[in-house]
Structure 1
Amino acid sequence: MLVTAEGAVRIWTINLPKAGNAITGADFIAAFEAAVDAANRDTGVCAVVLTGAGKIFSAGGNVREMADRKGMFGLPAIEQRYAYVDGIQRIPRALARLEVPLIAAVNGPAIGAGCDLAMMCDIRVASERATFAESFVTLGLVPGDGGTWFLQRAIGYERAAELTFTGKTLDAATARNWGLVSRVVPHEELMPTALELAGQIAENPPRALRMAKRLLQESRTGALESTLGMAAAMQPLAHHDDEHDRRIAKWRSA
C-alpha cells in the first residue's frame, strides 16, 4: 500500500492493480495495520483518504488463489477459521482503532470484501465509474470480514439483506440513492473532491476530531447513558486544549 501526505491528510492507495487490488494478502494486511498505527501516532494527521490504484477500488479476495486452493484456501476448515481471524479480519479491527476520519474515494468496482472495506470508512465518495457488490453468495461464500455488521449500518437491514442475498451489483447512482455513498462525482473530480473534503476536516483541531470520531463509533452500539458519560469525560479535555483557547480567541475577535 502506498502512503503519501498532503499536509495534515494522508492518502492510502491500494497498489495491487494486477491482482484487482486484492486485500487478503499477508503483506497488504501488515502494511494496512502499519498505516493505521502510523496515523494514530502522528497527532498532526487529521484525516485519511483511501483509494485504489488503476481502475479498481478493490475486488476483495483473490479469487484466483481460491480457485487454485493456494495459501489459506488450501488449509483444512478448522485452520481456515483461524486464518480468517489472523488474516483479513485484522483490517476491520485495525480500522476500529483508527483515530482519524477516513474517507473512501471509490474509483471503480468495490466488490465483495472491497465493498465491505468501503463500508468500514467513515465517509464514501464515489466516481461515476464505481460499482458495488456484496457478491459472496454468488461464489457460495459468506462475508468473512465483518461485512454483515458494516453494510446494514450504512444502508439499513433491508437493503443490506437484498445486496447480501442476491449478490447483485449497484451502479454509482443507485449507491447514492441507497445511501451507500454520500456523493457521486465525475471520475476526474474524485480525488480532488475527496481531498477537498479531507482538507475541510483537517481545518479543525486534531484532538477534538479524534475524540468526536470515537464518540460517533461508540454511539453506533452503545447505550445513550454510556455515550453521555463518555461525552462528559471527553468534553473537559477539549475545554482545556490550547486549540480550544485559540478558537475562542478567534471567535471573540471576529
Structure 2
Amino acid sequence: MELQDVMYEKREGIAKITINRPEVYNAFRAQTVQELIWSFRDAWDDNRIGAVILTGAGEKAFCTGGDQKNKGDSGYDSSGGLGGGIGLEIENLHRTIRAMPKPVIAAVNGYAIGGGHVLHVLCDLTIASETALFGQSGPKVGSYDAGLGSAYLARIVGEKKAREIWYLCEKYTAQEAKEMGLVNKIVPQDELMGTAEDWAGKIVEKSPTAIKMLKYSFNADSANIEGISQIAMASLGMFYKTDESAEGRNAFVEKRPVDFKKFRQ
C-alpha cells in the first residue's frame, strides 16, 4: 500500500507507525485510518516484529482525533473505506490494535485529544513526553465514543474520573495522566522515542508466545466492551446526521463558541 498520511518502518524486530499530518495536529481522516489499519496488520503478519510503537509526527501532537474539516453532515469523508457508518473505519482500527498479538506502545509527543486520546488508551503501554497533554473533546464538537473510548477508560482510571474526562472535556498534563494510571512513564521530549524503542526492544527479547497469551488474557476482562462499541458506533453514525452534531463541527471549523442551548428546548 502506498502511504501518504502515515510513515511506517521496521527495524530490529520493532515496527514504528507515525501519523504524518502535523499540519492538522495529526488529526485523522478516512485515508489515515485505512493506512493505520494496513500498517498494524502488516506488523501483525510479520513474524520478525515483536512490538509496535505508535506516535505522531512533529512535537506538537500525538493525535487530535477526527479531522473536523473532513466531517460532513452524515459523517467523515468515506473515501478511505466502508467507514462503519461514520465515514471512518475507526472501530476496525481499535479492534486491530487490541487484537494483534504484539504489544503496542504509544509514544505521546504532544496533544492526545479526542479520538487520539482513545488511541493511546487502547495501546498496551503509554510513554509520554513532559509536554504531552491528554483529554477528550467529543461533547464539544458533537461526537462521542461510548464504547472502548469510555467504558474501557473507566476500567483504567475509575468511573468518577472517566466521567469527569468526558463530561468536562478538560486537558490533563502528563503528570496528571500518570497519576490516574493513563501513562506508564514520563520522559523529556528528546528522550521519548529512545525510551519507547528501549521498551519495545525489551519486549522483543521475551517469549513471543508468552507475550501473546498475556495480551489475550489482559484483553479478556474487557472483551464485552467491543459489543458496546458496535452499538455506540452505529448510534454515532445516526447522530452525525443531526443538527446538534453539526453545530459542534461547524463551531470548531468556524472558530466560534459552540451553542448547544437550543437543543435542550
Give me the TM-score of the superposition, normalised by structure 2: 0.74
Match of 1:128 among 130, 145, 151: 130
Partners in 2 of 1:10 and 1:145 — Cα distance?
27
Q: 1:96 to 1:205 in 2, by over 3 A?
A: same
Residue of structure 1 equivalent to 2:207: 205
Query: Would you say 1:51 and 2:55 are equivalent positions?
Result: yes
Equivalent position SS for 1:12: strand
**Which one-letter code corresponds to 1:48 in the other structure?**
V
1:35 aligns with 39
Q: Which amino acid aligns with 1:58?
A: C
> Contact 1:112–1:133 at 8 Å: present in 2 too?
yes
Quote the sequence identity (%): 32
User: For the residues of structure 2 that align with 1:204 and 1:163, how far apart are their CA atoms?
Assistant: 35
Q: Residues 123 and 116 (structure 1 numbering): CA distance in 2 closer, same or farther, change over 3 Å?
A: same
1:161 counterpart residue number = 163
1:42 deviates by: 1.3
Q: Which runs of 5 or more residues in structure 1 are unaligned?
A: 223-254
Q: Does 2:29 align with 1:21? A: no
Select the residue among 146, 150, 153 that pairs with 1:151: 153
Runs of 4+ in 1 over 6 A off after TM superposition: none
CA–CA distance in structure 2, aligned partners of residues 168 and 124 of structure 1: 20
Helix, strand or coil for the counterpart of 1:181?
Answer: coil
Tell me, in whole angstroms, the C-alpha distance in 2 between the residues paired with 1:105 and 1:180.
12
Output the CA distance in 1 between the equivalents of 2:43 and 2:140.
36
Provide the rounded CA distance (Å) in 1 between the counterparts of 2:103 and 2:46: 14
Distance 1:128 1:95, change over 3 A: same
Structure (1 or 2) with the larger CA radius of gyration = 1
Shift of 1:205: 1.9
Q: How far is the alpha carbon of 1:82 from its aligned partner?
A: 4.3
Partner of 2:62, secondary structure, is coil
Q: Please give the alpha-carbon distance, in whole angstroms, between the structure 2 residues aligned to 1:119 and 1:170.
A: 14
Q: CA RMSD in A?
A: 2.3
- 2:130 and 2:188 in contact (8 A); partners too: yes
- Supply the distance in 1 between the matched residues of 2:87 and 2:31 (Cα, whole angstroms): 16
Number of residue pairs matched by the alignment? 215
Structure 2 gap ranges (5+): 1-5, 225-265
Letter in 1 for 2:125: I
Alpha-carbon distance in structure 2 between the residues aligned to 1:106 and 1:57? 5
When the two structures are superposed, what TM-score results if normalisation uses the length of structure 1?
A: 0.78
Structure 2 SS opposite 1:48? strand
